[in-house]
C-alpha cells in the first residue's frame, strides 16, 4: 500500500511548542480571569498609536501590500542608521530565520552551528530543511561557549546562531566577545554568516553597550535580527526585521514570499516606531518588573538566573517538581512556560508582566509551594 506522505525528517520532527493560550486555560479550568506570562509578550499590550493605525487602515484590507514594504524598511534603516538596502522585514523574525537557512545552507552539503539549548526555531527550521546541525552545550551557568561555537565550525559551515540576550536564560554576552567570534569565523569559516538574534536586546539595562547595532559598522559576516513582537508590542501582527550584509539582503528579497508582511502589520509597525511614550513606558515597566520578580522569586527560595530580557528563568526550591508546579499555577489562572521542550525539565520561565500580574504570579507561586508541589 502506498499513499501520499511527508518526508521522513518531517515525520520525525518535534514541532515548535508554543505557550498555552488564555482561551485554552479558561475553558480547561473554568476560570474567569487568566494571566499569561508565557510568551514574552509586551506587558502593556499594543501601542495606542499602532491600534489606531490598524483601525484607520482597516479599509485597505482589500489591497495587496506594497512589494518589499519600502516605507517600513526605510523607517527601520533610519532607526538604526543603516542603508535601506540592508534591511529585511518578514512575517516575524521567524520567517527571516527560516529563509536565511533555506537560501544559504544546502542539505547534505553544509552545516549550521548553534547552542544547546537555544531558541528552538533555529534547530527546527534547520531540520525541516534537512541541513546538518552542530550543537555546543551552554556552560553550567548558562553562558554561551562562543569559543566552542567557533571550534565546531569548518569550511562547510554556512550559519552560526547566537541569541543575545539568550532565550530561555536571559544571559547576555559582552559585545566584544560576540565581535571576537565574528572575527574568528571570518578566518576559519569565511563563508559562514553569524546571525546575532537581538530579539530582547532593547530590554537590556545598557543596550548601547551590549548591542552590535550600537558599535559602528557591522562586520561583513554578521546579520542582526530584531522583532516587533516583544518591546514593540505587536506579536500577533507578525513583523520582524534584520540588518543583513547587502548580498544576503539581495538574496532575501528574491526568496521571500511577496506579501508576507501584510498591510495592517506594516501600518502598525510604522505607527509603533513613532510611539515614543509607549516604548519608554514599556522599557520602564519591564526593567522595574524584572527587578521585582527576581526579588520575589528569590524570596520564595527559587534559584533565579540574571536576565537582560523581559523574562526570568528559575528553578524551584529543592524537592519541588517543576511540571506539577506549572500545572498547579494553571489551575490558579497563571500561565508560565515549562522548559521541557528546551531540554530543561527542572527549569521554568516567566515573562515580566504588569506590576499587578507580577504580584499575582508571586502570590500564586507562594500558595502553590505552600500547598506542596512535590514530585
Ligand atoms: C520571540 C523571539 C523571536 C521573535 O519571533 P517573531 O517571529 O519575530 O515573533 C526571535 N528570536 C527569539 C530568540 C525569540 O525569543
Q: Which residue has the higher pLDDT, 371 or 101?
A: 101
**C-alpha of 246 from chain center:** 24
Q: Does the pLDDT at position 373 exceed 60?
A: no
C-alpha cell read off for 308? 537582560
C-alpha cell read off for 278? 509607549
Predicted TM-score (pTM) of the model is 0.96
Alpha-helical (H) ranges within 275-354 are 276-299, 322-331
Tally Cβ neighbours within 10 Å of residue 222.
23
Alpha-carbon distances, residue 52 vs 200, 235, 271, 304 (angstroms)? 25, 16, 8, 38
Half-sphere exposure of 230 (CA within 13 A, CB side): 26
pLDDT recorded at residue 58 = 98
User: How far apart are alpha carbons 315 and 21 in whole angstroms?
Assistant: 23
CB-neighbour burial class of residue 163 (10 A; exposed 0-12, middle 13-18, buried 19+) = buried
Write out pLDDT tens, residues 182-240: 999 999 999 999 999 999 999 999 999 999 999 989 999 999 999 999 999 999 999 99
DSSP 18: P
Ligand 1 neighbours by CB, cut-off 6 Å: 40, 92-94, 119, 163, 167, 197, 199, 227, 229, 235, 240
Question: Under DSSP, is residue 337 helix (H, G, I), strand (E, B) or coil?
Answer: strand
Ligand 1, atom 11: closest residue by C-alpha: 199
Q: Counting atoms of ligand 1 from 1, which one is nearest the CA of 197?
A: 11
Ligand 1, atom 2: closest residue by C-alpha: 199
Q: What is the mean pLDDT of the chain?
A: 96
Q: Does the pLDDT at position 350 exceed 70?
A: yes
Q: Does the pLDDT at position 108 exceed 80?
A: yes
Question: Under DSSP, is residue 339 helix (H, G, I), strand (E, B) or coil?
Answer: coil
Q: Does the pLDDT at position 2 exceed 90?
A: no
pLDDT recorded at residue 129 = 96
Mean pLDDT of 255-262: 97
Closest among 102, 116, 131, 124 to 162, alpha carbons compared: 116
pLDDT recorded at residue 20 = 84
pLDDT recorded at residue 1 = 63
Mean pLDDT of 326-342: 95
Alpha-carbon distances, residue 151 vs 16, 173, 180 (angstroms)? 28, 18, 13
Q: Does the pLDDT at position 359 exceed 50?
A: yes
Spacing, Cα 197 to ligand 1 middle (Å): 8
Amino acid at each position: 500500500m502506498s499513499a501520499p506522505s511527508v518526508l521522513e525528517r518531517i515525520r520525525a520532527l518535534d514541532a515548535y511548542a508554543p505557550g498555552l493560550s488564555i482561551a485554552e486555560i479558561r475553558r480547561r479550568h473554568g476560570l474567569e480571569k487568566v494571566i499569561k506570562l508565557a510568551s514574552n509578550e509586551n506587558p502593556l499590550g499594543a501601542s495606542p498609536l499602532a491600534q489606531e493605525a490598524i483601525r484607520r487602515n482597516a479599509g485597505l484590507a482589500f489591497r495587496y501590500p506594497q512589494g518589499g514594504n519600502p516605507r517600513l524598511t526605510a523607517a527601520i534603516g533610519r532607526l538604526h542608521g543603516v542603508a535601506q538596502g540592508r534591511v529585511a522585514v518578514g512575517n516575524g523574525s521567524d520567517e527571516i530565520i527560516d529563509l536565511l537557512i533555506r537560501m544559504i545552507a544546502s542539505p547534505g552539503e553544509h552545516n549550521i552551528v548553534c547552542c544547546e539549548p537555544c531558541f528552538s526555531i533555529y534547530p527546527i527550521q534547520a531540520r525541516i530543511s534537512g541541513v546538518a546541525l552542530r550543537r555546543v552545550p551552554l556552560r553550567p551557568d548558562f553562558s554561551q561557549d562562543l569559543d566552542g561555537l567557533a571550534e565546531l565550525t569548518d569550511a562547510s559551515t554556512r550559519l552560526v546562531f547566537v541569541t543575545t540576550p539568550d532565550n530561555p536564560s536571559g544571559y547576555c554576552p559582552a559585545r566584544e566577545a560576540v565581535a571576537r567570534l565574528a572575527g574568528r569565523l571570518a578566518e576559519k569559516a569565511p563563508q559562514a554568516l553569524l546571525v546575532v538574534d537581538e530579539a530582547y536586546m532593547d530590554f537590556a539595562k545598557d543596550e548601547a553597550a551590549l548591542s552590535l547595532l550600537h558599535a559602528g559598522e557591522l562586520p561583513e559576516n554578521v546579520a542582526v535580527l530584531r522583532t516587533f513582537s516583544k518591546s514593540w508590542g505587536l506579536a500577533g501582527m507578525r513583523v520582524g526585521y534584520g540588518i543583513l550584509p547587502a548580498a544576503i539582503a539581495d538574496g532575501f528579497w528574491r526568496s521571500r514570499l511577496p506579501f508576507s508582511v501584510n498591510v495592517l502589520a506594516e501600518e502598525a509597525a510604522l505607527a509603533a516606531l513613532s510611539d515614543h511614550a509607549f516604548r519608554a513606558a514599556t522599557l520602564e515597566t519591564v526593567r522595574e518588573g524584572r527587578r521585582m520578580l527576581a526579588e520575589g522569586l528569590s524570596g520564595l527560595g527559587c534559584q533565579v538566573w540574571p536576565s537582560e530580557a523581559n523574562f526570568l528563568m528559575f528553578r524551584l526550591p529543592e524537592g519541588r517538581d517543576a511540571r506539577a508546579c506549572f500545572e498547579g499555577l494553571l489551575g490558579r489562572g497563571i500561565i508560565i512556560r515549562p522548559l521541557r521542550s528546551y531540554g530543561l525539565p527542572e527549569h521554568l520561565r516567566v515573562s515580566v508582566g504588569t506590576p499587578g500580574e507580577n504580584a499575582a504570579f508571586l502570590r500564586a507561586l507562594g500558595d502553590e509551594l505552600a500547598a506542596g508541589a512535590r514530585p
